[in-house]
Amino acid sequence: MNAGMDELYREVILDHHRSPRGREPLPGPADARAEGKNPSCGDELTLELACAGGAITDAHVECRGCAIATASSSILAELVAGRTPEQARALAEAFRTAMHSPDGALADELDPGDLEVLTGVRKFPARVKCALLPWITLLSALDAEGEGKPAAPASTEA
Amino acid sequence: MIPRGDFLRAPAGVEPCDGQAGDCSRCGRIFSERFPLLERRVNGRPLVYLDSAATTQKPGAVIAAEARYYREHNANVHRGMHTLGVEATDLYEECRSRVGRFLGVPADRVVVTRGATSALNLVAGGLGPSLKPGDEIIVTEMEHHANLVPWIEVARREGLVLRHLPVTAGGELDLERLPQLLTARTRVVALTHVSNVLGTINPVAEVAAAARRRGALVVVDAAQSVGHLPFTFDELGADYLVFSAHKAYGPMGLGFLVGGAEALERLQPVEFGGEMIETVTMDSATWAAIPQRFEAGTPNVGAAAAFPAALDTIDEATLQRLRQHEISLTAYALERLERMGGLTIFGPREAERRGGLVSFHDPMVHPHDMAQLLDSLGIAVRAGHHCAQPLHRRLGVVATSRASFGMYNSHDDIDALVDGIGYARSVFGA
Ligand SMILES: Cc1ncc(COP(=O)(O)O)c(C=O)c1O
């Protein structure tokens, strides 16, 4: 690849894009659900979570977006399963902060997995929203779940 | 009424280009050496600029004219008694006349605005107060948000009914639906001359004739056609026409509303303040004559001083030749993209029915990734919904990639695009 493209389209990201996790519908009804969109480009995403025993057991993401948004959705599905809502929220917020900071570091305690690689996207400012879209949708789903009401649609412009 | 497509025919003596790469001397780049920005390199490669539908690049003469205005003449218009004020006013008014000559209307029917969008807001907002609840407005499904959202807003404010003229699977207006949509309550028909996504050239004269028989006013968004297709205002048969200078090789921050004399009289001003008044007391004001009535505040005089140089460049090349060139490039792009296989290409198949742009979708590579990877090769295309979300919904995609052409492009640029798409596919293992 050329001109920094290998920094954006890292092998890990391409792999998530080729075979995204979390595509299968949830086995039962969703316990939390939110829609997200990026108004500047029209990309859309639907996120559903299944919870049991105080933890997220499964995530289903349907992303109609670019490779970065798709990979980010896949990483999200992989990472949130098994976390409590609070842990998932902490990870989403840390990622959002990292994407707007110069060094983009994510603390090891967060167990960030492939999300660490995705922070490299912050060097391409036009694509930061693509990487964030699934995570702000997650925050919206978690807010709604906490308050027991339907989630407000999440937007990268909000 | 002019027959559909009549103004697209090649003028006598111009051989239509056969669209073959390499052997087409007539369709070499036109005046590309006059566009300084095209010498730039992007990401280490020579720039291949294929985003002229978003904004064209500017000839050096336009850049120089704007700089000269600020160096030599800068003053406010219609105010100063001093020499600079008179010069600035002359330059500003000369631009108005030049645009009038370009489109075949007198200068007093040319309103200077910030761009096509503000001109459309003026038409929609200016007609609003004269419309009654239940009156109907027809817009097409292929409009840019600039020719849709102002009508949505006016309809909401005034209780109007918005009707939609659909687009066929082939990417053209479904004219068979027009007679049912046009009713005794239709007041306005608003349509684009050339779609910024499909490239379709709409039969404006035909639609306008049908609308007028019903007594409706016709608004044409000519943002993609002025400076690219040869036509005059009268040939379109419309009441209002808008465009932006920056898509016609001119500067940003400048646009125009051109209208019929009666049509302009019907508009209420939508912006109020200095320059647009006749007499003001503490409690009342009377409006200045048209067109000043619609030009509140200090306009973009520097851009107005520069735009005639763009129109001069167009006239020097001749619109006929520019049109022939865009047809040739479009035909070649359609042919090459088609031959790649696996791409969905939107809009009419015949280049003669299109403006100089081609939108496409590759199921393997999202438009953002396409644009990003092409950019890494120095190739500039636009990706996204192109400010036409309802149309994209109709096309069944959230986004498309669009390559669009200007006088400075050549077949080589399309070859670079095709190679670039191949490269983008290889990144995603397609
Ligand atoms: C068809 C069409 N109409 C209107 C506009 C709006 O032009 P501007 O942004 O210059 O006001 C555009 C530009 O994108 C366009 O392509």
- Can you read off the two tokens belonging to residue B201? 């050239």
Of the residues B196, B228, B240, B385, which should be mutated to test ligand 1's pocket, given the most ligand atoms within 8 Å of the CB?
Answer: B196
Percent of chain B with pLDDT over 90: 87
Q: How many C-beta neighbours within 10 Å does residue B176 have?
A: 9
CA B193 vs CA A123, B83, B162, B201: distances in Å: 40, 41, 19, 6
As annotated, the residues of chain B forming the CATH 3.90.1150.10 domain(s) are 4-50+318-427
Write down the pLDDT at residue A42. Answer: 79
Asked if B398 lies within 8 A of A44 by C-beta distance, the reply is yes
- Nearest atom within ligand 1 for CA of residue B195: 1
Write down the pLDDT at residue B180. Answer: 97
Q: pLDDT for B362-395, tens place per residue?
A: 999 999 999 999 999 999 999 988 899 899 988 9
Q: Does B430 touch chain A (CB under 8 A)?
A: no
Q: Which of A4, A18, A67 sits opposite B369 (nearest CB)?
A: A67
**ipTM of the complex, rounded to two decimals:** 0.88
For residue B2, pLDDT beyond 50: no
Cβ(A71)–Cβ(A13) below 8 Å: yes
Residue B95 designated active-site? no
CA B229 vs CA A37, B4, B306: distances in Å: 37, 14, 21
Nearest to B352 by CA among B9, B26, B59: B9
Write down the pLDDT at residue A3. Answer: 62
In chain A, which among 34-93 make CB contacts under 8 A with chain B?
Answer: 40-44, 64-68, 70
Q: pLDDT for A120-136, tens place per residue?
A: 999 999 899 999 999 99
Q: Which of B22-26, B160-164, B308-312 has the lowest mean pLDDT?
A: B22-26
Q: Which domains does chain A have, with CATH numbers?
A: 3-155 (3.90.1010.10)
SS3 B80: coil
Query: What's the rounded Cα separation, in Å, for the pair A38 and A60?
Result: 19
- Can you read off the two tokens belonging to residue B269? 């001003």
Contacts of B366 in chain A (CB under 8 A): 65-67, 70
Nearest to A8 by CA among A131, A143, A107, A148: A131
Among chain A residues, the shortest Cα distance to B423 is held by A1
Ligand 1: which residue has its CA nearest to atom 14? B54
Q: Which CATH number fits domain B4-50+318-427: 3.90.1150.10, 3.40.50.300, 3.40.1480.10, 3.30.70.890?
A: 3.90.1150.10
Write down the pLDDT at residue B27. Answer: 62
Among chain B residues, the shortest Cα distance to A64 is held by B398
The overall longest dimension of chain B from CA atoms, in Å, is 71
- pTM of structure: 0.91
Write down the pLDDT at residue B327. Answer: 97
Query: What's the rounded Cα separation, in Å, for the pair B107 and B120?
Result: 19
Q: What is the 3-state secondary structure (H, E, C) of A54-120?
A: CEEEEEEEEEECCHHHHHHHHHHHHHHCCCCHHHHHHHHHHHHHHHCCCCCCCCHHHCCCCHHHHHH
Helix, strand, coil percentages for chain B (3-state, nearest 5): 45, 15, 40
Q: pLDDT for B134-180, tens place per residue?
A: 999 999 999 999 999 999 999 999 999 999 999 999 999 999 999 99
Please name the amino acid found at residue B238.
A
Kindly report the CATH class assigned to B62-315.
alpha beta
As annotated, the residues of chain B forming the CATH 3.40.640.10 domain(s) are 62-315
Instruction: Supply φ then ψ for residue A152, to 5 degrees.
Output: -75, 140
Measured in Å, residue B233 CA sits from the centre of ligand 1 at 18
* Mean pLDDT, rounded, for B324-336: 97
